[in-house]
Amino acid sequence: MTKPAITRDSVKQLDQEDSMQKYKKEFYQENFHYMDGNSLGLLSQRAEKALTTSLEDWKEHAIEGWTEAEEPWFYMSEKIGRMTAPLIGAEAEEVISTGSITSNLHQLLATFYKPIGKRTKILADELNFPSDIYAMKSQLEWHGLNPDDHLIRVKSEDGSSLSEDNIIKEMDEDVAVLLLPSVLYRSGQVLDMKKITEAAHEHGIIVGFDLAHSIGALPHELNEWGVDFAVWCTYKYLNSGPGGVGGLYVNEKHLGKAPGLAGWFSSNKDKQFDMSHDLMHADTAGAFQIGTPHILSSAPLIGSLELFQEVGIEEVRNKSLKLTRLLMDLLHQELSGLGFQIANPLQDERRGGHVCLIHEEAASICKALKKENVIPDFRSPNVIRLAPIAFYTSFEDVYDVILTLKDIMENEKHKQYKNERGIIA
């Protein structure tokens, strides 16, 4: 049976039925359609208020803000950890807000990567984001090991996706640690974290995941799956702002382990100001902090995470899937024959929060979209990522974006731009 045509009236009806539609007005977005929330989320009024609160606390309390602020700074990282834990299926003590993806990766690799005997290799993949690879190579070199010999990168069969079975085939007694993305940053493929973790543990391998493109977009059950550690940023789907403080998870079975990189805030909070030169580290994920929390880059998360507490990650995921499904259906309806290829998985359970389009003129198309007040994301050499975010994207927004893209292609508006990336892409 042929699907009925998607019309403006039909997408308006979807918006009327959307329980999350009321949150759209909480985010600052005027005069543009924002499809790049998987790179940087938009500012919400609550995040703004939370930041203002910490600024006022600084103004009013000065140094006493560490304990006397409305949101006491000394405990802010732990509070954000508690608020984040339900999004990843973790216990509160397993999560801490701290650092960045790369600094947290260095911390956890320094803690868990202990090359002994034959177990000297790190298992990763060839499609991973470059910074994760940089961190792994750096850790190998720190141990005097050649990354060419000790970093295994699982090959992709099609250039955009990974096979869990191929990952498992690389697991053997030489591998000490596995580190993979939960969702591939280009294609949006969701990896089967449970299957990978179980297989790795059968081989005695420590398992870590980078949740940059999944946290805040889809549910996880890290504790139930037995994942050993995870890291993430918060400025994408969690809408914490540019350079927002990241986070890390360490499974409860490892709590009490000494951090590989010790620092001031690794301390047990009750002992921190004893000023001993012998670290008494926390027995929670707080032990894996290093330096003083960045309060003004952390505070917006408190406001942003309130929204997730109200809605629940399951409902966020439900709407996200509907938005990306609509986007793909409209691409088929309106843009067939115009050179676009959908490179993300079509199955809901395999697709993250964005749609990945391949086009030979992707860079120039993205420039033309921005001229028309649509903000996409370009990834070299030929990928357009479109991320309709559940909190602030309506179904009608998606409809408008596709009609704008159709107009660009049919009238060749992108031809006026060079098909090459800008400085930041």
**Binding-site residue set:** 101-102, 129-132, 210, 213, 235, 264, 292
Best CA proximity match to 108, nearest among 88, 92, 122? 122
**Residue 122, token pair as written in the block:** 């790190």
**Residue 80, token pair as written in the block:** 């954000």
* Cα 285 to Cα 82, 228, 404, distances in angstroms: 11, 12, 46
Partners of 247 in the β-ladder: 97, 232
d(CA 379, CA 425) in angstroms, rounded, equals 6
Confirm if 215 and 37 have CB atoms less than 8 A apart. no
d(CA 75, CA 282) in angstroms, rounded, equals 13
d(CA 409, CA 412) in angstroms, rounded, equals 5
User: Which residues belong to the annotated binding site for pyridoxal 5'-phosphate?
Assistant: 101-102, 129-132, 210, 213, 235, 264, 292
In a 13 Å sphere around the CA of 143, the CA atoms on its Cβ side amount to: 24
Which one-letter DSSP state was computed for residue 27? B
Which helix (H) or strand (E) segment is 177 a member of?
Answer: strand 175-181
Confirm if 181 and 209 have CB atoms less than 8 A apart. yes
Best CA proximity match to 89, nearest among 245, 259, 214? 214
Report the SS3 class of residue 231.
strand
Which residue intervals of 193-312 are DSSP H helices? 193-202, 222-225, 295-311
Order the strands of the 341-342 sheet from edge to edge: 341-342, 355-358, 383-386, 377-379
Confirm if 114 and 260 have CB atoms less than 8 A apart. no
Confirm if 376 and 366 have CB atoms less than 8 A apart. yes
d(CA 68, CA 72) in angstroms, rounded, equals 6
> What pairing do the DSSP bridges indicate for beta strands 229-232 and 206-210?
parallel
